Amino acid sequence: MNPNVEEDSIRNNPKNTVAFWTKEKYDFRILEHMKPAIEIMSPAGSRESLSAALNAGADSVYFGVEQLNMRAKSSNNFTTDDLPAIAALCGRHNAKSYITLNTILYDHDLQLMRNIVDAAKENGITAVIASDHAVMMYARKRGMEIHISTQTNITNIETVEFFSAFADVMVLSRELSLSQVADIVSDIRRRNICGPSGRLVQVEVFAHGALCMAVSGKCYMSLHTHYSSANRGACIQNCRRDYIVTDKATGYELEIDNEYIMSAKDLCTIGFLDKIIGAGVSVLKIEGRGRSADYVHTTTTCYKEAVKAIHDGTYGPQKVEQWMQALSTVFNRGFWDGYYLGRTMGEWSESDESLATKRKVYLGKGVNYFSKQQIAHFLMESNQLQVGDEIVITGPTTGYVHAVVSELRVNGLPVSQAGKGDEVTIPLGTLIRPSDALYKLVDNTRRELVQAE
């Protein structure tokens, strides 16, 4: 029997679906058969991130094609010509592939939208993520699977019912509490709300990544000040800067110094992922198509491990602490638990920059890999590398590789340190390529020390 069919029949049997839930204690009983069905969906804003996500074991990836997606400006978007290669790569990793087609659309965008849906269909992309009704209507006509984007802001069961005429998977609004999510999931089962595929509608939520100061997808700030519409994928994130507030009556100016009033901290749910899964969520989405391969690799790995730990019954505070440590090494603005646990006010980030505890310093590029000896050959283009340094290699095919330098050779001779211009060889268990970049990881606090001196 096809394992996917088995999984679906378990997931969609209403008898199996009720998560026990008391609002006061957030006490969820996770039913045995629900556990394996959790899908980790990772962002792929570039080739590097795509490979990193797949290598880290993402169950699905989402990416933008051309300009009609919410990272039209910031990420390194793919074109329709890239679709055969992306579909083939995802196929090899047994991962689903989703195209984000979720900006607001004008009349002049309709033909491009149709071309993207057609290309997605022809190349065997799993689904399009849509927010505009025109996309839903056309994709439905073409028989393309549709997922509803966070831009649509689904906050109640009847909206789920409305969109079930088009979509099989729906992400719920990021502003819902976990009890609201759980209620919607149990109502989907009770009312037997099925998507076009005939299966029950699956609920997706955001598990990790940036949050918006506004209700997601309803922000006008970037357009208002810079004519750069967030809803056309061109958000300039001006909510993340510092501002001076003037009292109109007296003219007094108050600087909102280092305590930004609008920049939300990043969502992190790994500490209560059991509750999220207990609420009956099927898909966990990681935000970050504007982020680098190391972010994608680390977040995907942590959440995959967490889902597995929940499955194995080994999920607990010790593991959560390890994951939190790993997650804080990559881009973040500080973490909070979003709105899921019923907080009424947002928590705001004190910094517009990343609070990652480690940062990457560029060293050089890949030259060659000697498979038999498992030796990687790099050309150093800047900075120094020492034995014992933590290194990161990213590339379009390689994705993300993390290692510690155990031995370092220049021109075949062992050295303790190498610098700019040196051709170095390092023992490495993973194949690297000339298209790869080599970085070392340093503590992020070091930069401040240098500035203070």
Which lies closer to another protein via its Cβ, residue 115 or residue 197? 115
Residue 112 Cβ vs another protein, minimum distance, rounded to whole Å: 4
Contact 380, 423 (CB under 8 A): yes
Contact 356, 409 (CB under 8 A): no
The residue among 156, 143, 214 whose CA lies nearest residue 185 is: 156
Residue 224 Cβ vs another protein, minimum distance, rounded to whole Å: 12
Give residues in contact with another protein (CB under 8 A).
66-68, 72-73, 106-113, 226-229, 232-234, 236
Phi-psi sector, 284: left (phi>0), alpha (psi -120 to 50), beta: beta
Which lies closer to another protein via its Cβ, residue 234 or residue 283? 234
**369: β partners:** 376
Residue 108 Cβ vs another protein, minimum distance, rounded to whole Å: 4
**205: β partners:** 284
Residue 252 Cβ vs another protein, minimum distance, rounded to whole Å: 32
Which lies closer to another protein via its Cβ, residue 75 or residue 180? 75
The residue among 279, 302, 234 whose CA lies nearest residue 42 is: 302
The residue among 425, 420, 383, 386 whose CA lies nearest residue 404 is: 386
Which lies closer to another protein via its Cβ, residue 129 or residue 181? 129
Residue 152 Cβ vs another protein, minimum distance, rounded to whole Å: 20
- Report the alpha-carbon distance of residue 136 to residue 115 in Å, rounded: 14
Which lies closer to another protein via its Cβ, residue 230 or residue 376? 230
**402: β partners:** 392
Which lies closer to another protein via its Cβ, residue 68 or residue 293? 68
- Report the alpha-carbon distance of residue 261 to residue 72 in Å, rounded: 26
Residue 103 Cβ vs another protein, minimum distance, rounded to whole Å: 8
SS3 for 353? coil
